[in-house]
Amino acid sequence: MTVVLITGCSSGIGAATAADLAAHGHTVYATARRPETLRDLASKGCRTLALDVTDEQSMAAAVAKVESDEGSVEVLVNNAGYSQSGAVETIPLDNIRKQFETNVFGLIRMSQLVLPGMREAGRGRIINIGSMGGKLTFPGGGIYHATKHAVEAISDAMRFEVQGFGVQVVLIEPGLITTEFAGTAVGSVQGLEDGPYGDFNARVGEATAEVYASRVGKLAGGGPDSVAKVIRKAIERKRPRARYTVTPSASLAI
Ligand code: NDP
């Protein structure tokens, strides 16, 4: 049994992972910025906490609560994140900052907060939800993909920095998974109908979708449970791999 703290459990991969881990006997702290969204997970045996990964006080309080109840956070799953699409020229800088605050700085700060406890315990695991979009990019996805490329770099560097303390860092790289995740429809960028990018979808959309499909796998069909299973594997294995790719067409082969 492992003590696991997960960010972004109101829906999708976070909710599926919390439910799956609790069903397999782990002690799960499921968190969300709107704790009222966690009632179903509470009924499935998860402990629930408020946690907004853009709010220092909220992050520190959640980690302190788990540490005071359990000793240390044994596994942190950095899952909270969202996507936005659009041509780089068209996305307001404030929206880009906001996305880095959540997808990148939140993940970094959560890791910084749990590491002292993990070092003291001499063991721990940080599981970062990256993306296949952290390995490649396509027109209209540049900003989201930049955040996920950052997650790749941070995870790969941290893995070596903390392994001497008994802490492992694992990257999960889902392909396109069916969740509430909005605004990522590959090859179809919304809101560009007017202005210089008006023909964006016609010019590059279809070709992009084809390239993505050929490199990442089928575009539809994988649900969040397939990612949850891989995350559980990364937690339960004595020696986890550095990264696990989860595409709908290949998830069963992992
Ligand atoms: P969902 O939209 O279903 O879930 C995203 C979760 O992140 C929600 O619980 C959301 O909470 C939470 N979140 C957003 N901002 C914050 C914040 N500031 N603090 C705390 N939680 C926050 O999408 P997914 O389950 O698909 O996404 C989960 C992760 O998987 C993300 O990191 C995403 O980038 C990654 N991913 C998803 C893929 C996919 O195709 N679905 C593919 C590859 C990676 P709230 O309800 O409050 O907004």
82 Cα: distance to centroid of ligand 1 (angstroms): 5
Condensed to tens digits (0 to 9), the pLDDT of residues 116-130 reads 999 999 999 999 999
Does residue 210 form part of some domain? no
Output the pTM of the full model: 0.95
**Residues 30, 2: contact at Cβ < 8 Å?**
no
Does residue 203 form part of some domain? no
Does residue 35 form part of some domain? yes
Does residue 198 form part of some domain? no
Condensed to tens digits (0 to 9), the pLDDT of residues 142-179 reads 999 999 999 999 999 999 999 999 999 999 999 888 77
Minimal-distance CA residue to ligand 1 atom 3: 12
Minimal-distance CA residue to ligand 1 atom 6: 8
Mutate to test the pocket of ligand 1, among 9, 10, 53, 212 (most ligand atoms within 8 A of CB): 10
Does residue 141 form part of some domain? yes
- Please tell me the predicted confidence (pLDDT) of residue 185: 52
Parent domain of 41: 3-183+222-253
pLDDT one digit per residue (tens) for the chain, 254 residues = 899 999 999 999 999 999 999 999 999 999 999 999 999 999 999 999 999 999 999 999 999 999 999 999 999 999 999 998 888 999 999 999 999 999 999 999 999 999 999 999 999 999 999 998 898 888 888 999 999 999 999 999 999 999 999 999 999 999 888 777 644 555 667 767 778 888 887 887 777 777 777 776 655 547 899 999 999 999 999 999 999 988 765 443 33
Minimal-distance CA residue to ligand 1 atom 11: 8
164 Cα: distance to centroid of ligand 1 (angstroms): 31
* Cα 53 from Cα 56, distance rounded (Å): 7
**Residues 189, 200: contact at Cβ < 8 Å?**
yes
Does residue 188 form part of some domain? no
Active site residues: 144
Does residue 201 form part of some domain? no
171 Cα: distance to centroid of ligand 1 (angstroms): 16
Amino acid at 94: D
Does residue 195 form part of some domain? no
| 77: exposed, middle or buried (Cβ count in 10 Å: 0-12, 13-18, 19+) | buried
Q: What's the CATH code of the domain at 28? A: 3.40.50.720
SS3 170: strand
**Residues 130, 173: contact at Cβ < 8 Å?**
yes
Q: Indicate the number of domains in the chain.
A: 1
